[in-house]
Chains A and B, each alone.
Chain A
Amino acid sequence: ETGVTQSPTHLIKTRGQQVTLRCSSQSGHNTVSWYQQALGQGPQFIFQYYREEENGRGNFPPRFSGLQFPNYSSELNVNALELDDSALYLCASSVSGGYSNTEAFFGQGTRLTVV
């Protein structure tokens, strides 16, 4: 059984650019959630994908978008990068069905620096 993997581990982008972060969910998991963790703060929910559709969104602008693929892997896209987007981006996978959610397993994160 493989765990949640994220790529790349580190990334430096210039303000105004676009970035794509990738996440492979744990085997057997059908749900992927993305979180932003600024330095010294707890993770903040960006959005969740279930069966390739967005299934809940946090307080983030539309320039944060995502995709989930048939193999349940996922991408997080951020357009028009701002300096405040510098953070650790975490992906978590779980199994969802009805009202039941299993434990969320986290990846190691992608550290994004916007300069």
Chain B
Amino acid sequence: AQRVTQPEKLLSVFKGAPVELKCNYSYSGSPELFWYVQYSRQRLQLLLRHISRESIKGFTADLNKGETSFHLKKPFAQEEDSAMYYCALIPAAGNKLTFGGGTRVLVKP
């Protein structure tokens, strides 16, 4: 069975500082990895997926199959990045999203 672990419940950084959210997964095959974000009083929405290899809102995430990690990074955090972030995976040819427990990011002015 697949599992996603986000070791940090809360990350507090100052505006302009780098931020890195850790995500580790366990799955024997080749999953598809995602980061979802939930801003205050908004619904859960997709931030980025590893197959697109895009930078969204300044965030990037690299899939490291050797370390089974998919950490999310942003070099200069902004106050509007304050939100709840969830790492998730779908197994190859699968249909169910498995989420981590989430990391709350607080960007202080």
CB within 8 Å of B: which residues of A?
4, 31, 33, 35, 40-45, 48, 50, 55-56, 58, 90, 92, 96, 99, 101, 103-109
Contacts and interface: CB of A to CB of B under 8 A. Distances in A.
A78 B73 CA distance: 39
Contact of A41 (B94, B98, B101): B101
A55 B95 contact: yes
Contacts of A107: 43
User: Which interface class (under 10, 10 to 19, 20 to 34, 35 or more) fits B?
Assistant: 20 to 34
B103 to A, nearest CB: 10
Contact of A99 (B93, B96, B98): B93
A33 to B, nearest CB: 7
Nearest to A88: B44
A40 B95 CA distance: 24
Contact of A43 (B90, B93, B94, B99): B99
B99 A44 contact: yes
Contacts of B56: none
Contact of A33 (B86, B97, B102): B97
Which 5 pairs show the lowest CB-CB distances between chains A and B? A42-B99, A106-B44, A45-B96, A108-B43, A56-B95
B11 interface: no
Contacts of A90: 44
B17 interface: no
A39 B93 CA distance: 30
Nearest to B86: A42
B45 A43 contact: no
Contacts of B96: 33, 45, 48, 56, 58
Contacts of B102: 41-42
A44 B3 CA distance: 11
Contacts of A105: 45
A38 to B, nearest CB: 10
Nearest to B101: A42
B83 to A, nearest CB: 14
Interface string B20-57: 00000000000000000000000111100100000000
Contacts of A56: 94-96
